[in-house]
Structure 1
């Protein structure tokens, strides 16, 4: 069986990590996977897969507007390589993938990985989507919230959408490595560490984290905010840190390729995003037994059980975030219990094996 993953590119992000994990988690020698990127450049994870997994990757260069030539290019690729499954990731790749597979024997699967904030509807999509569904064997969503959004904004019936949660391999980090990292970053052992790993994008709401930490730090001065990542919001975040005089208590590392030790160094993982599907870094934190504070958006309240594996707060609510941080700061036993529960929930719900088995079943479904 030949499975072709159709996506924008293979740069660093949640969708790309899911594709990478599906490919690396495939243990069936009878299933051969490849990737077709509709946009260039390919991205670092694409280059990594080419080297380590010897995956065939084709990179196109989508033109502005609707690119009819791209459909033909993708159709030729499907037929020439006798593709059995065209697995499209995100909406635009689905449009091109479904149209390209039309008239071939390839079956189409569309996975929606998340929604933009604020979510919007389009009359054009609501007209064309039922037609695309005629060319599509299965639609999957990575959270119930994403599934509901597909119905509300894309006119796709709920009974046509299957829920498949993201899955990853659990992380591990030797205690000695974490101690070395803390020493390198200048974090005292008795300091409480809050933080996150994410691109510095407005949707991740780093500004709320800094503002909340500024208020929290007044009561708990022996604390650190560790922000791992880079992006367009960095300059704004640096400005806020200076405005609140937090330079001694906020650490910006920039992009870290493998931030496992940084996540392991946290006492509490923060994810106050405006919108989320199923955050891969949140799953990574849970696999390391970290309690979390997340906003009540997208898949967050499905992943984090309030008061059992973490704390779920209102979206963009400064008071709630400060309160949650103070609650966990004052109760070490509670932090540790939430962390243990988070690991148990991760093992039960979000393992790589569980996700890969779910997609394999869809590939084999006739």
Structure 2
């Protein structure tokens, strides 16, 4: 039996959520069944792209020109024909537009996956006219959350019945016990200290400003609490200034960017995510895989990952008072250990890499076996 050739079309393979999904799909799928490759429409391809190339995965790239690049469509089309690609899996909107137009009239099947939305969301008259037609020549459409699905309906004019939800899946993290102990000693936390933390780029969309304001309120009730902010970005100076203004510098640790923060997450009692907008947060899944209960804002797919009162708490978006109360409630909860157990179980049941790859593998096979697209049911 010949392998099915699946080509992932994306912007690039830098370090990010979409790129992690592609990486996990390639590494988690059956190599005897699928021959997977990547085509990037931007350069450089990024560190994960280089890693995958070094492991034997074929990655091609053509940097798109400013504006709508017609030559890019021709380049992708030629690549599909020369390499006899069975399925082009387009990740995010622009790659979808280029990919579906390139595959038009070929035997290549087209899948479009939307990974997230900008905040605030918007639309245009061009999309209102174009997208319904693009849908008709697209074989399957998936999204990473119910919130993202609703956004495609409201802003992209894609019929509800065409959109299927498949949550992101990752490999569970494994911490180094000795390294975690070393971190505890390095930061000299008291034995009864409670550790909060977040891992994200320091960007306005992540709203760490609200998180820090909420943490200042937490300290009034729980003074023996500390906050790790792991990441870097344009907001760092502003956030550090806010910490100084609030006079909480002794309890907030900015680590900067850490390539593999697993041991820091393992050190935390509670993981925090305060975003104004999210798809399916990979760091949230990573924290859950380590059994960390989470306090999140009700943004995008957060409330689909965190079952309020089960594996964490969900608060109103951009509300520091509500967010601080949720953190205090979880810190004071006699059921914190139960929340931790629930986080691990919830992750294993719904967000493992095995679960995600199983769903996409079913779609790939059914499309190439000419099964009707409406017979492929993968929603949870």
TM over 0.5: yes
Equivalent residue of 1:276, what SS? coil
Q: After superposition, what is the alpha-carbon deviation per residue over 1:285-314, rounded to whole angstroms, capped at 9, x for unaligned?
A: 111111100111211111111111100000
> Which residue pairs with 2:16 in the alignment?
13
Deviates more, 1:237-246 or 1:91-100: 237-246
| Cα shift at 1:80 | 1.0
> Which residue pairs with 1:361 in the alignment?
362
* Structural mapping, 1:86-101, within 5 Å: 86-101=88-103
Q: After superposition, what is the alpha-carbon deviation per residue over 1:104-145, rounded to whole angstroms, capped at 9, x for unaligned?
A: 211000000111111112111111011111221000011111
* Structural mapping, 1:183-332, within 5 Å: 183-331=185-333
1:37 and 2:40 correspond: yes
| Cα shift at 1:101 | 0.8
Name the CA shift for 1:97/1:185 in 2 (closer, same or farther; >3 Å). farther
Q: Structure 2 length as normaliser, TM-score?
A: 0.93
Q: Structure 1 length as normaliser, TM-score?
A: 0.97
Gap runs ≥5 in structure 2: 371-380
Looking at structure 1, the residues matched to 36 and 27 of structure 2 have their Cα atoms a distance apart, in angstroms, of: 10
Looking at structure 2, the residues matched to 185 and 122 of structure 1 have their Cα atoms a distance apart, in angstroms, of: 50
| Cα shift at 1:280 | 0.7
**In 2, are the aligned partners of 1:2 and 1:32 still within 8 Å (CA)?**
yes
Looking at structure 1, the residues matched to 17 and 121 of structure 2 have their Cα atoms a distance apart, in angstroms, of: 18
Looking at structure 1, the residues matched to 15 and 31 of structure 2 have their Cα atoms a distance apart, in angstroms, of: 26
Deviates more, 1:63-72 or 1:215-224: 215-224
Q: After superposition, what is the alpha-carbon deviation per residue over 1:304-327, rounded to whole angstroms, capped at 9, x for unaligned?
A: 111111000000001101101111
Q: After superposition, what is the alpha-carbon deviation per residue over 1:255-283, rounded to whole angstroms, capped at 9, x for unaligned?
A: 11111111111110001110111111111
Alignment length, in residue pairs?
364
Looking at structure 2, the residues matched to 205 and 336 of structure 1 have their Cα atoms a distance apart, in angstroms, of: 28
Cα RMSD (Å) of the superposition? Answer: 1.1
Which of 25, 28, 44 is the equivalent residue of 1:25? 28
**In 2, are the aligned partners of 1:3 and 1:85 still within 8 Å (CA)?**
yes
> Which residue pairs with 2:53 in the alignment?
50
| Cα shift at 1:175 | 3.0
**In 2, are the aligned partners of 1:182 and 1:188 still within 8 Å (CA)?**
no
Equivalent residue of 1:248, what SS? helix
Equivalent residue of 1:18, what SS? helix
Name the CA shift for 1:186/1:8 in 2 (closer, same or farther; >3 Å). farther
> Which residue pairs with 1:337 in the alignment?
338
Looking at structure 1, the residues matched to 181 and 243 of structure 2 have their Cα atoms a distance apart, in angstroms, of: 25
Looking at structure 1, the residues matched to 365 and 189 of structure 2 have their Cα atoms a distance apart, in angstroms, of: 50
Looking at structure 2, the residues matched to 189 and 278 of structure 1 have their Cα atoms a distance apart, in angstroms, of: 34
Q: After superposition, what is the alpha-carbon deviation per residue over 1:188-218, rounded to whole angstroms, capped at 9, x for unaligned?
A: 3321111111111111111111111112113
Looking at structure 2, the residues matched to 247 and 322 of structure 1 have their Cα atoms a distance apart, in angstroms, of: 18
Looking at structure 2, the residues matched to 69 and 156 of structure 1 have their Cα atoms a distance apart, in angstroms, of: 27
Deviates more, 1:130-139 or 1:89-98: 130-139
Equivalent residue of 2:59, what SS? strand
Gap runs ≥5 in structure 1: none
Runs of 4+ in structure 1 deviating by more than 3 angstroms, as ranges, are 185-189
> Which residue pairs with 1:151 in the alignment?
153
Looking at structure 1, the residues matched to 190 and 7 of structure 2 have their Cα atoms a distance apart, in angstroms, of: 49
Equivalent residue of 2:198, what SS? strand
